[in-house]
Amino acid sequence: MANDAEIKSKTAKDEGGVLETIKVVVQALLIALVIRTLLFQPFNIPTGSLIPTLLIGDYLFVSKYTYGYSKHSMPFSPAVFDGRVWATEPKRGDIAVFKLPSDNATDYIKRVVGLPGDRIQMIDGILHINNAPVKRERIADFVTQDNWGRNASVTQYRETLPNGVSHAVIEREGDGGTFDNTVAFRVPPGHFFMMGDNRDNSLDSRDRSVGFVPFENFVGRAEIIFFSIEEGASAWRVWEWPWTVRWNRIFSGIK
């Protein structure tokens, strides 16, 4: 009888331990879901459309609360409500993640250059906002990779937007690229005009496949790079980190 009592006691303890473990795991998942939905969401950069500001292999946190919340703030964008709550409009120069308007599912990341009501046009590679050319100064060339993976120096400029936000842009094809001369775009109410800093290698609002981005489609603002690894390297190969991780980019703010 004593042995039976000991076995039952041990079984009860084991079951209690399993239930406690499940409880802790569920609580941790709920906390992670709340953080991801309301505060910060991690993203990685798979393309070079924002070179030189963001590089392929950068991992960053996006603040979900900056612009308020829409259905796209939640995983799988459930149709729980329309519009935004606690909304604060993006500022010119913000780098933001948004859902591609054509499918409301694909995540894109670009820079906000046009606000509702703005007139946006590219003329000979120079961004014009409301008929005024944006200040652009030539700086040292940027070294990146060409289509064959070889290092190549490309023309780089320091661009200063009307509100004083200054950032670097590159022109791989000079000022005669596909989208270096465009029609004039009038940004509709409640929409924004987005562009990449890699002006000749960015699918953005200059192309009708992206177009103007509704405020509702914004997911959040890019804030900080928390990890960065060389293009083509594998993050899981920890033993290669000493020479593949871009240590100087970790915990750097995004502007």
pLDDT digits (tens, 9 = 90+) for 141-200: 999 877 777 888 999 999 999 999 999 999 999 998 899 999 999 999 999 999 999 999
C-alpha 10/C-alpha 227 separation (Å) is: 45
List the beta bridge partners of residue 214. 191
Is residue 84 located within the same domain as residue 188?
yes
Determine the structural domain holding residue 238 and report its residue range. Answer: 45-253
Annotated catalytic residue 77: no
C-alpha 248/C-alpha 152 separation (Å) is: 21
Residue 90 binned pLDDT confidence (cut-offs 50, 70, 90) = very high
Tell me if residue 15 falls in helix, strand or coil. Answer: helix
Please check whether residue 187 is in contact with residue 120, taking contact to mean a CB–CB distance below 8 angstroms: yes
Give me the pLDDT at residue 126, please.
97
Is residue 25 located within the same domain as residue 142?
no
Type of residue numbered 156: Q
Give me the pLDDT at residue 21, please.
73
Is residue 22 located within the same domain as residue 51?
no
Domain total in the chain: 2
Is residue 86 located within the same domain as residue 3?
no
Query: Which of 11-25, 66-80, 92-106, 150-164 comes out lowest in average pLDDT?
Result: 11-25
21 or 67, higher pLDDT: 67
Is residue 50 located within the same domain as residue 19?
no
Is residue 37 located within the same domain as residue 49?
no
211 or 29, higher pLDDT: 211
Is residue 199 located within the same domain as residue 215?
yes
pLDDT in tens, 195-229: 999 999 999 999 999 999 999 999 999 999 999 99
Is residue 170 located within the same domain as residue 137?
yes
C-alpha 71/C-alpha 218 separation (Å) is: 10
Please check whether residue 205 is in contact with residue 213, taking contact to mean a CB–CB distance below 8 angstroms: yes
Alpha-carbon distances of 93 from 19, 32, 193, 219, rounded to whole Å: 49, 30, 11, 16
CATH code of the domain in which 162 resides: 2.10.109.10
Q: What are phi and psi of 130, to 5 degrees?
A: 55, 45
Say if residue 151 is exposed, middle or buried (CB neighbours under 10 Å; 0-12, 13-18, 19+): exposed
Comparing CA positions, the residue from 132, 141, 187 lying closest to residue 160 is 132
pTM of the model: 0.86
Is residue 36 located within the same domain as residue 52?
no
Mean pLDDT estimate for the chain: 90
Is residue 8 located within the same domain as residue 77?
no
Give me the pLDDT at residue 133, please.
98
Give me the pLDDT at residue 212, please.
98
Is residue 30 located within the same domain as residue 81?
no
Give me the pLDDT at residue 40, please.
86
Give me the pLDDT at residue 149, please.
74
Annotated catalytic residue 110: yes
| Identified catalytic residue from 71, 110, 205, 228 | 110
Is residue 10 located within the same domain as residue 76?
no
Give me the pLDDT at residue 244, please.
97
Query: Is the bond preceding residue 52 a cis peptide, omega within 30 degrees?
Result: yes
List the beta bridge partners of residue 191. 214
